Amino acid sequence: MRSMAHAVRVHSTTWLASGVVQVEFRDPAGTDLPAWEPGAHLALRLGNGMTREYSLCGDPADRRSWTVAVLREPNSRGGSSWVHERLTAGTLLEVDGPRNNFPLEPAERHLLIAGGIGVTPILAMAGRLAERGADWRMIYCGRSRESMAFLPQLREMGDRVRIHADDEHGGPPDLCAELGAVAAGELVYCCGPEPLISAVESALPDPSALRVERFRAPEPIASTPDGAFEVVCETSGVRVPVGPGTSVLDALAEAGIQVPNSCQEGVCGTCETKVLGGEPEHRDHVLSPAERETGDTMMICVSRCRSGELVLDL
């Protein structure tokens, strides 16, 4: 569910690799920031009216600061370019979080796979597993070493980390042998671009061992055609019709009810809303099968309703 917003100040910015800037936030009053666990992210409320999510990649034990790393996307919709151009030391902004849709679960062994800027949550996981003396290994893929952030930190972790730069090997790594050897009791964590995630999903014999975090939704997950239904906002008492082809999020916005959102693709969790009545049809990539089964919350940017009426805690 949505968490409280925090005011933070940019403490420093650091270039990590080609197109990648690290931003360190601290509390303006110098107090400790809320705790977080590997896999967590922040939702930055940018000055251009957008909200964008970025994984925390610092040390969870350091309560003085939150750190994210942002890749400037060539086809940026305004998020990464704003961060690169506007965030400088001293800048104040609000952030929501930390929130964790990608938690590190206990296992006999962990295989961590990162592609490009997907290294950010994986880096924090590697650090936690190393601290615990756990059995783990990591594969970090990128177009070139110049484009890959955090290489010095990962080299310090020794031979548990395999670095694969595509330009040095003629293309992406062949993960079939590595994933084919995944044993019972082992979990595989993957974050990166969709081609990498798709390759991992195809090569891993046991899909239940895989945990992923996506940048974008791979494809719509609609199981039934869009139908019309009505949303009842329990707190405000407003009833909002939702027509075919219109999301709950957009219908609410048209009725003057604003819900924090970002990706509008069901991958970030920003618009997660409590369901008080009705049967949601989940189309997101955030909730687990168990969470979908309970039907307690839904991502209103993509998910819809199987019944004629949906009652939300709004």
Picking from 14-23, 163-172, 262-271, which range would have the lowest pLDDT averaged per residue? Answer: 262-271
Backbone angles phi, psi at 138, to 5 degrees: -140, 140
Mean pLDDT for the stretch of residues 41-46: 93
pLDDT beyond 70 at 222: no
The predicted pLDDT at position 74 comes to 82
CATH 3.10.20.30 domain position(s) in the chain: 229-312
The closest alpha carbon to 51, from 41, 66, 36, 63, belongs to: 41
Q: Residue 220's pLDDT band (boundaries 50, 70, 90)?
A: low
Query: Helix (H, G, I), strand (E, B), or coil: what is residue 251?
Result: helix
CATH 3.40.50.80 domain position(s) in the chain: 109-214
CATH code of domain 5-99? 2.40.30.10
pLDDT beyond 90 at 270: no
How far is the C-alpha of 58 from the C-alpha of 33, rounded, in Å? 13
Q: Which helix (H) or strand (E) holds 148?
A: none
Q: What is the DSSP letter of 313?
A: -
Strands of the sheet containing 229-233, edge to edge, are 239-242, 229-233, 309-312, 272-277, 297-299
The predicted pLDDT at position 219 comes to 61
Token pair for 93: 């902004």
Alpha-helical regions (H) of 108-228: 119-132, 151-155, 166-169, 176-180, 194-203
The predicted pLDDT at position 276 comes to 96
The label of the residue with tokens 């880096």 reads 123
Which whole-number Å values give the CA distances from 24 to 16, 58, 63, in the listed order? 13, 9, 12
pLDDT beyond 90 at 3: no
pLDDT beyond 80 at 209: yes
Q: Residue 288's pLDDT band (boundaries 50, 70, 90)?
A: confident
pTM exceeds cut of 0.85: no
How far is the C-alpha of 121 from the C-alpha of 192, rounded, in Å? 10
Picking from 10-14, 56-60, 138-142, 218-222, which range would have the lowest pLDDT averaged per residue? Answer: 218-222
pLDDT beyond 80 at 239: yes
Cis preceding-peptide flag for 260 (omega within 30 of 0): no
pLDDT beyond 60 at 221: no
Picking from 78-92, 101-115, 216-230, which range would have the lowest pLDDT averaged per residue? Answer: 216-230
Token pair for 59: 């040390």
Alpha-helical regions (H) of 26-103: 79-86
Length reported for the chain = 314
Options 3.30.420.40, 3.40.50.80, 3.40.50.2300, 3.30.420.10; CATH of 109-214: 3.40.50.80
Q: Residue 151's pLDDT band (boundaries 50, 70, 90)?
A: very high
How far is the C-alpha of 167 from the C-alpha of 141, rounded, in Å? 11
Q: Residue 224's pLDDT band (boundaries 50, 70, 90)?
A: low
pLDDT tens per residue across span 44-96: 999 877 889 999 999 999 999 999 999 998 877 778 999 999 999 999 999 99
The predicted pLDDT at position 278 comes to 95
Percent of the chain predicted with pLDDT > 70: 96
pLDDT beyond 60 at 223: no
Q: Could you tell me which CATH class the domain 229-312 is placed in?
A: alpha beta
Percent of the chain predicted with pLDDT > 90: 80
CATH 2.40.30.10 domain position(s) in the chain: 5-99
Mean pLDDT for the stretch of residues 17-22: 97
Chain mean pLDDT for the chain: 92
pLDDT beyond 60 at 1: no
